[in-house]
Amino acid sequence: MGLTYSSVVDASVADVFSWHTRPGAVTRLTPPWLPVRVLREASSLRDGEAVLGLPGGLRWTAVHQPGDYDPPHAFADELTSPLLPWRHLHQFSVAGERTTLVTDVVETPLPARALRSMFVYRHRQLAADLAALARAGQIGPGTGAATGADPLTIAVTGSGGLIGTALTALLTTSGHQVIRLVRRPPRHAGERYWRPEDPAPGLLDGVDAVIHLAGASIGGRFTPERKAEIRDSRILPTRRLAELAASNAASSAASSLAGSAGGSGTLKAFVTASAIGIYGPDRGDEVLTEDSARGEGFLADVVADWEDATAPAAAAGLRAVQVRTGIVQTPRGGMLRLLSPLFEAGLGGRLGSGKQWLAWIGLDDLLDIYLRAVLDPQLTGPVNAVAPEPARNADYTRTLAAVLHRPALLPVPGVGPRLLLGAEGAREIAQASQNVRPERLIEAGHEFRQPELEGALRHLFGRG
């Protein structure tokens, strides 16, 4: 019973161990198909405690064991519940020149077959994150350090959302400091209170880059009230934050002219979420790049105004990047969270004709794009955050069904989305067809973790 699983990663033992010590490591290694969320990370791998939330209000508390703490070669944790004995030993040894043999030894009554997919995922995720750090060192002002680039202080709005939670974990395991801009009283030094309509003058003090993710979900029926919420949560807050960033940049420039020391804490980049909705819901088979004309419709209007709201930051000389996000793939939320239970039950199928283009992006690839947007001094303006090859709806559903080992025989008639979303919502969201390509990322030589749909879905569901 239990499991021993090993793999080799392209990083030194010291760098691999150091990565595990940083905030966000547990979040980065938690498989997205498991109904688990990280409530608290351990403050120390020597004797700290990590707490995970399980369905039904249950909690998993893993206590690190001082007797097994041997940096940079090993650490261990044990589950405190008597219901499921669990001891997990993490081992790191030299495999070759700057390569590490990572071994997980789990002692538990659970059979190896029940654990294998989880640890295959963890090892792939670790290797991919370390590779992303190495690439980041080639993009930004690299120092050759384990973090890949000089550590930055990055302010993030929307840090508690699906993308924000994953992104802040990637940033902190990359060695950067994250300041979460929150709309409630701050709970610790890593948070600052943010009023979207009127941000405080000192909100961005000491910050090197801003990542602005906050905005109401576009899901649901497009009622007048819902449409107003979608617009109001994006445009004015973005403009106010851009104006504050511009003021911060002006103050930094004035200090520099006066002879004050520059360096860390000088705002350089203003990165905002955007969406491929700017191209309109249906452009046929037209290949859409960042240079394509905007489309028509409610979302196109919102996104155009959303991007225009960043103008004060760009006018002040900040490098402004708008990340035009495609359909994000993760079992934790969005489209895939809705579809996967239907497909698991054998009730999935194409939508309508199935000819619609789906410009998708794996969650981890989206995070890498945000990291690049912060670090790459050559990247500016709108950037299509989509995989290199979009898929037609029929191909997407066929691939998802194959990965989940289920049939895809029940096509969804067009009336279904209209009943749920209304005519406008169905046309702009569920039935949208957008053949979008990441032209600027390709020109920049960006490397995608999962450029092909089947590989991305297999990784996300732990299916080989």
CATH number of the CATH domain containing 161: 3.40.50.720
Q: Judge whether residue 340 has pLDDT over 50.
A: yes
Number of C-beta neighbours around residue 335 at 10 A: 17
290 plus 264 within the same structural domain: yes
Percent of the chain with pLDDT over 90: 79
Give 166-214 pLDDT, tens digit per residue. 999 999 999 999 999 999 999 999 999 999 999 999 999 999 999 999 9
Mean pLDDT calculated for residue range 54-63: 92
Give 256-289 pLDDT, tens digit per residue. 555 544 445 689 999 999 999 999 999 989 999 9
State the Cα–Cα distance between residues 147 and 39, nearest whole angstrom.
25
State the Cα–Cα distance between residues 234 and 309, nearest whole angstrom.
9
Task: Specify whether the CB–CB gap between 288 and 278 falls below 8 A.
Answer: no
163 plus 64 within the same structural domain: no
309: CB partners within 8 A, 6+ apart:
234, 235, 236, 238, 239, 242
Task: Specify whether the CB–CB gap between 220 and 425 falls below 8 A.
Answer: yes
**pLDDT for res 419:** 66
399 plus 431 within the same structural domain: yes
**pLDDT for res 261:** 45
- Domain annotation covers residue 438: yes
- Nearest alpha-carbon partner for 456 in 328, 323, 277: 328
Dihedral Cα 396, 401, 403, 405, nearest 10 deg: -170
Strands 360-362 and 269-275: unpaired
Number of C-beta neighbours around residue 254 at 10 A: 10
Mean pLDDT calculated for residue range 26-38: 95
244 plus 383 within the same structural domain: yes
Strand partners, 91: 74, 103
Task: Specify whether the CB–CB gap between 130 and 15 falls below 8 A.
Answer: yes
- Domain annotation covers residue 447: yes
Residue scoring higher pLDDT (416 or 297): 297
Number of C-beta neighbours around residue 40 at 10 A: 14
Mean pLDDT calculated for residue range 363-386: 97
Torsion sign, CA atoms 194, 196, 202, 207: positive
277 plus 328 within the same structural domain: yes
Task: Specify whether the CB–CB gap between 427 and 221 falls below 8 A.
Answer: no
321 plus 365 within the same structural domain: yes
- Domain annotation covers residue 188: yes
The length of the chain in residues reads: 464
- Determine the structural domain holding residue 285 and report its residue range: 153-461
As a whole number, the mean pLDDT across the chain is: 92
321 plus 239 within the same structural domain: yes
CATH number at residue 32: 3.30.530.20
Mean pLDDT calculated for residue range 388-407: 95
Percent of the chain with pLDDT over 70: 94
29: CB partners within 8 A, 6+ apart:
122, 125, 126
- Nearest alpha-carbon partner for 89 in 56, 62, 110, 112: 62
**pLDDT for res 414:** 67
103 plus 181 within the same structural domain: no
CA atoms within 13 A on the CB side of 387: 23
98 plus 161 within the same structural domain: no
Q: How many helices and strands, by DSSP H and E, does the chain display?
A: 14, 18
Give 2-22 pLDDT, tens digit per residue. 999 999 999 999 999 999 999
Domain count, the chain: 2
Q: Judge whether residue 255 has pLDDT over 80.
A: no
88 plus 173 within the same structural domain: no
DSSP of 164-220: HHHHHHHHHHTT-EEEEEESS---STTEEE--TTS--TTTTTT-SEEEE-------S
> Which of 82, 114, 139 is the C-terminal boundary of a domain?
139
163 plus 109 within the same structural domain: no
375 token code pair:
């670090």
- Domain annotation covers residue 452: yes
35 plus 57 within the same structural domain: yes
- Domain annotation covers residue 144: no
> Which of 117, 139, 161 is the C-terminal boundary of a domain?
139
Q: Judge whether residue 35 has pLDDT over 60.
A: yes
Give yes or no for a cis peptide into 32 (omega within 30° of 0): no
CA angle 97, 102, 105 (to 5 degrees): 155
Sheet containing strand 3-9, edge to edge, reads 3-9, 99-107, 87-96, 74-79, 59-64, 49-53, 37-40
**pLDDT for res 110:** 93
In the chain, the N- to C-terminal Cα span, in Å, equals 21
Phi, psi of 457 (to 5 degrees): -70, -40
- Domain annotation covers residue 147: no
> Which of 114, 139, 164 is the C-terminal boundary of a domain?
139
pTM for the model: 0.94
- Domain annotation covers residue 304: yes
- Domain annotation covers residue 177: yes
